[in-house]
Structure 1
Amino acid sequence: MTKTKKIQICVAGATGWAGSELCRGIVLTEDLELVSAVSRTNANKDLNVLLNLSQDNNIPVFGTIEEALAVPCDVLVDYTKPDIAKHQVITAIHKGVNVVVGTSGLSDADYQEIGSIAEQKQQSVLAVGNFAISVVLLNKFAEMAAGYMPQWEIIDYASDRKIDSPSGSALELANRLSKVRESVKTIPVEETKGIKETRGADINGMQVHAVRLPGFIISLETIFGMTDEKLIIKHEAGGSAKPYVQGALLAIRKVDSFTGLKRGLDSVMDFNSQI
């Protein structure tokens, strides 16, 4: 019986909070193989040793994406920072490697450029603001609500140490809701009396607010309002990165099922099969 070839993976940001948990999940999964990693602070080390993984063979850690992609792989998972993620994603596309983006903070313009290059090179990029299944459902429910309730605002909560604002999850949600409709504003923000910035940032026609304080991990909330009623849809995460592993593994398996750019984990999920 012929063995099915494992999907070979490089993880950039492999020793970080989310990346390290994903690496542990990959080595425990039969159809996936972790072949290399990127971590500037741990270059030239063995990821097996760094993370105490159960994989038998050496998993080399490189300081740059160019070095890491010299090891053949099928998928790059980028869990880094927005100031380097775009370069790494585009480098992978040019190398003929599909990409799953878990990095927060890339803009719509960044994704427009990435999508264009992916189409030209006939590669695939799946950008996921948040891999948690509860966030996938929040996005779906919010899109449904926006079709019936014309006014809403988004609140993005995170630790005081989170460098990007708003989060990738909030940007992704704003992008998706903008395709349903623009949120109605009874009083346009430019007509607000006082300090207009307190109304939040206008992103794709809706107000988005970011809270950065100790005590928060990651939370995302959409508040819909109509006369004498409101709907609040909220996701809250705990202190570990475990909620993001299964979604990331699904993204890795599905990223070669299309060409170009897709945004959101639900774009490769079949919800009808669950009904």
Structure 2
Amino acid sequence: MPLTDQGSSSTASTIPVLVVGALGRMGAHVVRAVAAEADLDLVAAVDTAAEAQGQDIGSLLGLGALDVAVSQDLEGHLCLVSQQHRGAVMVDFTHPAVVYDHTRAAIAYGVHPVIGTTGLSPEQLDDLADFSRKASVGAAVIPNFSVGMVLLQQAAVAAARFYDHAELVELHHNGKADAPSGTCIKTAELLEAVGKIYNPTVVEEKESLAGSRGGQRPSGLRLHALRLPGLVAHQAVIFGGPGETYTLRHDTMDRSAYMPGVLKTIRQVGALEGLVYGLEHLL
């Protein structure tokens, strides 16, 4: 379907929003959340689902017609929006294989990316941060939009000063493509910023099944990933000391838990001078 002039009714008081992966688990929640906010204007719904091309995203999600047709032409929409609107935001919940290219394209067109897709490598994050800064386009890569997860991470950093032994366990639905999760990696990075080596060797371990002890980072932290139907997103940080353990756990039962963080990031990303990594920078 030809690209049309959708969303041209955006005003200076509204933020134009493109949702990429609009029919996915998270993308559909974002579409609903954006459509319900008076200061946000949904201007594009990008998704690769062949059967949905040209159909109204609102009708497909049971919201009623929103006059925004589903399209797979991301670059076309970025180009159009960059010409018609100032301060447009792209929200991406897609796949690790394409998120880097999507993010770089948004920055190139002057559209602020809000990235919930995990799987970007440290090198890719560094490159995007440099590109964002040079282009003066605010960007946000958020491994987890839950305020509760930010609180868990802060508590874990505080606990890490007192415990030398710690392991991380993350549990997700079996449709998640990357492991360990970006949230788990981010948590490990925060613990490593304390500046210590974890899990000093007590005995020489031997795995009779490779991977049984999880993945070990240079800091000594071990990360374990479970994938099962019925799960949404869960994480535990378990500290051990003489005669005790201390467990911090966060459970997401419904993806609506992420929407306050998504909306907050959409509203703030335009004021950023470069790329931020993690919701804690916006709270």
Give the alignment's TM-score, normalised by structure 2: 0.87
Q: % of aligned pairs identical?
A: 30
Distance 1:183 1:59, change over 3 A: farther
Moved more, 156-165 or 64-73: 64-73
Q: Is it true that 1:165 corresponds to 2:179 in the alignment?
A: yes
Q: 2:68 aligns with which of 48, 59, 62?
A: 59
In structure 1, give the amino acid aligned to 2:276. Answer: K
* Distance (whole Å) between structure 2 residues aligned to residue 43 and residue 67 of structure 1: 14
Kindly state the Cα deviation for residue 232 of structure 1 after the two structures are TM-superposed.
0.5
* Distance (whole Å) between structure 2 residues aligned to residue 87 and residue 219 of structure 1: 28
Q: Is it true that 1:18 corresponds to 2:32 in the alignment?
A: no
* Distance (whole Å) between structure 2 residues aligned to residue 141 and residue 187 of structure 1: 25
Q: What is aligned with 1:224?
A: 239
Q: Is it true that 1:7 corresponds to 2:15 in the alignment?
A: yes
Kindly state the Cα deviation for residue 158 of structure 1 after the two structures are TM-superposed.
1.3
* Distance (whole Å) between structure 1 residues aligned to residue 80 and residue 263 of structure 2: 20
Q: What is aligned with 2:138?
A: 124
Q: May I ask how many residue pairs the two structures share in their alignment?
A: 264
**Pairing of 1:8-157 with structure 2 (within 5 A):** 8-41=16-49, 42-53=52-63, 57-72=66-81, 74-157=88-171
Distance 1:242 1:112, change over 3 A: same
Q: Is it true that 1:233 corresponds to 2:248 in the alignment?
A: yes
Give the alignment's Cα RMSD to 1 decimal: 2.0
Unaligned runs of 5+ in 1: 270-275
* 8 Å Cα contact 2:57-2:66 kept in structure 1: no
* Distance (whole Å) between structure 2 residues aligned to residue 128 and residue 257 of structure 1: 16
* Distance (whole Å) between structure 1 residues aligned to residue 214 and residue 105 of structure 2: 35
Kindly state the Cα deviation for residue 183 of structure 1 after the two structures are TM-superposed.
4.0
SS at match of 1:33: strand
Q: What is aligned with 1:273?
A: none
Q: Is it true that 1:258 corresponds to 2:267 in the alignment?
A: no
Q: What is aligned with 1:207?
A: 222
SS at match of 1:165: coil
Moved more, 66-75 or 117-126: 66-75
SS at match of 1:235: strand
Kindly state the Cα deviation for residue 139 of structure 1 after the two structures are TM-superposed.
1.3
* Distance (whole Å) between structure 1 residues aligned to residue 77 and residue 149 of structure 2: 31
* 8 Å Cα contact 1:146-1:181 kept in structure 2: no
Unaligned runs of 5+ in 2: 1-10
* Distance (whole Å) between structure 2 residues aligned to residue 213 and residue 140 of structure 1: 27
* 8 Å Cα contact 1:152-1:183 kept in structure 2: no
Kindly state the Cα deviation for residue 204 of structure 1 after the two structures are TM-superposed.
5.4
In structure 1, give the amino acid aligned to 2:135. Answer: K
Kindly state the Cα deviation for residue 248 of structure 1 after the two structures are TM-superposed.
0.4
Kindly state the Cα deviation for residue 118 of structure 1 after the two structures are TM-superposed.
0.8
SS at match of 1:68: helix
